[in-house]
Amino acid sequence: MYISVHNRIGVSSRDELKQDSQPLVEKVTTVNFAFTEEQEELRSFIRSFMEEKSAEATVRELMETDDGYDAAVWSQMAEQLGLQSMIIPEEYGGQGFGYVELGIALEEMGRSLLCAPFFSTVVLAGNAIIHSGNEDAKAALLPGIADGSTIATMALAEASGRWDAEGITIEASGTGDGATITGEKMFVTDGGTANLFVVAARAEGGIHLYTVDGDATGLSRENLSTMDQTRKQARITFDGTPASHLCDTNDFSYSLRSST
C-alpha cells in the first residue's frame, strides 16, 4: 500500500493557481506502508508454527488448565523462532527488531488464539524494563525474557479495575533493592505463572515501578475466573514483599516518548 503526497511548488493560493499559466512543478513524496519481503517471510514462518502448535483443539485443552499454556511450546517459541527476544536489544541477548515485527507476531498469535504468556512477558513487562532507563535492571532481567526462561507480567490494576493513575493505591516503602510492597493487585495477566512482576505502587514523589521475584516472601496469588480463558488472570497479594526499585513513572514516560 502506498500513499503519495503531492506538493505544488510556487503556488501559495487558489488565486495564484488560476492566474499562473506556467506549467506547475509537482513534487511527489512516496510513503511505503507495505511489509517488506523479509517481514512477510517472518509472518509466514510464525503462521506455520502457530498452525501446528495452536490448533483449535489444543487451545480448548489449554483453556481448561490452571497454567493456561504449554511450557514445551513456550520453549520452542524462544529456541526455534526467537519470538521472546524480538524487541530485546542485542546487548541484552535479543534481536533488536522493531514494533512492526512485533506487530506481525502478535497478529499471527491472535489469529491462532495462542495460549501463552507472550503479551504479558514481552509487550507489558519487557517493554517496561526496556524503557525504564535502569541499566542494571535491564542487564539483569532482559536476558531471561529473551531466552524464554522468564515469564513476566505487569501488576497495575487493583480492586477498582481502573487502569489510570488514580486507580493505583498500594504503597511501597524503602528505597533501592531494600523496598517492600504491601497491597493487592487484580486482573494480573498470567499472574498465576509469572516468575517476575513489574508492580506499580505509590511511594514518595508519586507512582513508581518495582520488580518482584515470583517466589518472594509475602507474595501470594489466586487465579481468577474470567470470560476469556485463553489469557489467564490472577489476584496478587503483597504483604511486606521485598521489591527492587525499577524507575519512577516520570523517567519511564520520558524514555517511552523519546523512543517514538
Give DSSP secondary structure letters for 77-130: IIIII-GGGTTS-GGGTS----HHHHHHHHHHHHHTT--STHIIIIIIIIHHHH
On the 0-12 / 13-18 / 19+ scale of CB atoms within 10 A, 222 is: exposed
pLDDT single digits (tens) 79-108: 999 999 999 999 999 999 999 999 999 999
DSSP string, 198-240: EEEEEETTEEEEEEEETT-TTEEEEE---S-TTS-EEEEEEEE
What pLDDT does 205 receive? 79
Query: Mean pLDDT across the chain, nearest whole number?
Result: 88
Give the separation between CA 222 and CA 185, rounded to whole angstroms.
Answer: 11
Smallest CA-to-CA distance from 199 within 161, 168, 240, 223 is with: 168
Contact 11, 20 (CB under 8 A): yes
Residue 204 has what pLDDT? 85
Q: In which region does residue 205 sit, left (phi positive, over 0), alpha (psi from -120 to 50) or beta (all else)?
A: left
Find residue 203's DSSP bridge partners: 206
pLDDT digits (tens, 9 = 90+) for 213-242: 999 999 999 999 988 999 999 999 999 999
pTM: 0.83
**Pairing between β-strand 196-203 and β-strand 152-155 as defined by DSSP bridges:** parallel
> Which tens digits make up the pLDDT trace of 48-78?
999 999 999 999 999 999 999 999 999 999 9
| % of the chain residues with pLDDT over 90 | 75
- Angstrom distance (rounded) from CA 176 to CA 239: 18
Task: Answer yes or no: is pLDDT of 12 > 70.
Answer: no
What DSSP letter does each residue of 136-184 carry, written as one string?
Answer: HHHHHHHHHHHTT---EEEE---TT---SGGG---EEES-GGGEEEEEE
Whether 154 has a pLDDT exceeding 70, the answer reads yes
CA distance 45 to 197: 31
Lowest mean pLDDT of 1-15, 120-134, 205-219, name the range. Answer: 1-15
Return phi, psi of residue 155, to 5°: -110, 100
Write down the residue that cell numbers 523512543 correspond to: 259
Domains annotated for the chain, with CATH where assigned, are 2-32 (no CATH), 36-260 (2.40.110.10)
